[in-house]
Amino acid sequence: MAFHIRDNRGEKRESNQMVFGIRAVIEAIDSGKEIESLFVQRGLSGSLFLELKSLLKEHNLGYQQVPIEKLNRITGKNHQGVIAVISPIVYHQIEDLLPTIYEKGEVPFLLMLDGVTDVRNMGAIARTAECAGVHAIIVPRKGSAEINPDAIKTSAGALYKIPVCRQDSLGKVGRYLMESGVQLVVSTEKTQDSIYDVDYTVPSCIIMGAEDVGVSDDLIRISDKLAKIPMFGEIASLNVSVSAAVVIYEAIRQRSII
């Protein structure tokens, strides 16, 4: 079922599909539903909950422990201490997508988002990426913006069209991409090299980080190129969705003239 959340004006806005009750959540996971987030009542116990915990471990799914009051605010029905929010999209694995891109004779053009947690930024980036023909967006399983109705709306539906790969470790994905002939280009201020000095006509994955901390040092260490967007004003940074658009369209410019 779908559930609704009231905004500050008392109006209803659509939210993600919700499944509540321990057995219902177990069945949703067993049926292959993508769990966007999972809320579990603090102190919950019992054999059925242990079965759920075992299943979560098997599928590498995390959950948030919350007071029962929060669960009761979400639904007045018998939630049994467990509420799952189902993702509105189906996630992909880059290991499945990349060979297909090569088989089509296309030059891989990927985008990795490290720690981008704002849903509207996620939506805006996805919209730009889809318009530019980016093959896929790669995000971490933990520490990434939820794909929820706000993200979908901001993306103008692009999140339904562009593959999103939710991966356990961005470092492992980065190394896999490099072994597969894809260069990693980190957008960061920790360099003197400009985004305009990078050759994006080869298989490339552009990596963008959170506005406050940027791309993680682990990804910076294994990357092929570090590149920054030139800044000439007093404000030292751009919104991450704007930054992503700048770098993506420099890549498009180069690929359009070869």
Per-residue pLDDT of the chain (258 residues; tens, 9 = 90+): 333 333 333 333 334 588 999 999 999 999 888 898 899 999 999 999 999 999 999 988 889 999 999 999 988 888 999 999 999 999 999 999 999 999 999 999 999 999 999 999 999 999 999 999 999 999 998 889 989 889 999 999 999 999 999 999 999 999 999 999 999 999 999 899 999 999 999 999 999 998 788 899 999 999 999 999 999 988 878 999 999 999 999 999 999 985
Q: Give the per-residue pLDDT at 111.
A: 98
On whether both 51 and 73 belong to a single domain, the answer is yes
CATH number of the domain residue 6 falls in? 3.30.1330.30
Q: Give the per-residue pLDDT at 258.
A: 59
- Which domain does 59 fall in, by range? 2-86
Q: Read off φ and ψ for residue 60, nearest 5 degrees.
A: 55, 45
Which residue among 47, 65, 86 closes a domain?
Answer: 86
Q: Give the per-residue pLDDT at 3.
A: 38
CB within 8 Å of 55: residues ≥ 6 apart: 26, 29, 30, 61
CA 112 → CA 71, 95, 122, distances in Å? 33, 14, 11
On whether both 107 and 137 belong to a single domain, the answer is yes
Query: Residue 177 corresponds to which tokens in the numbers above?
Result: 């991409």
Sheet containing 109-114: which strands, arranged edge to edge? 164-167, 136-140, 109-114, 204-209, 183-187, 225-227
Q: To 10 degrees, the CA torsion angle through 168, 169, 170, 176?
A: -100
On whether both 79 and 143 belong to a single domain, the answer is no
**What CA–CA distance (Å, rounded) separates 133 from 136?**
9
Q: Give the per-residue pLDDT at 256.
A: 93
On whether both 120 and 181 belong to a single domain, the answer is yes
On whether both 114 and 68 belong to a single domain, the answer is no
Query: Residue 198 corresponds to which tokens in the numbers above?
Result: 């990078």
**What CA–CA distance (Å, rounded) separates 244 from 123?**
12
On whether both 35 and 71 belong to a single domain, the answer is yes
Q: Give the per-residue pLDDT at 56.
A: 93
The gap between the terminal CA atoms of the chain, to the nearest Å, is 50
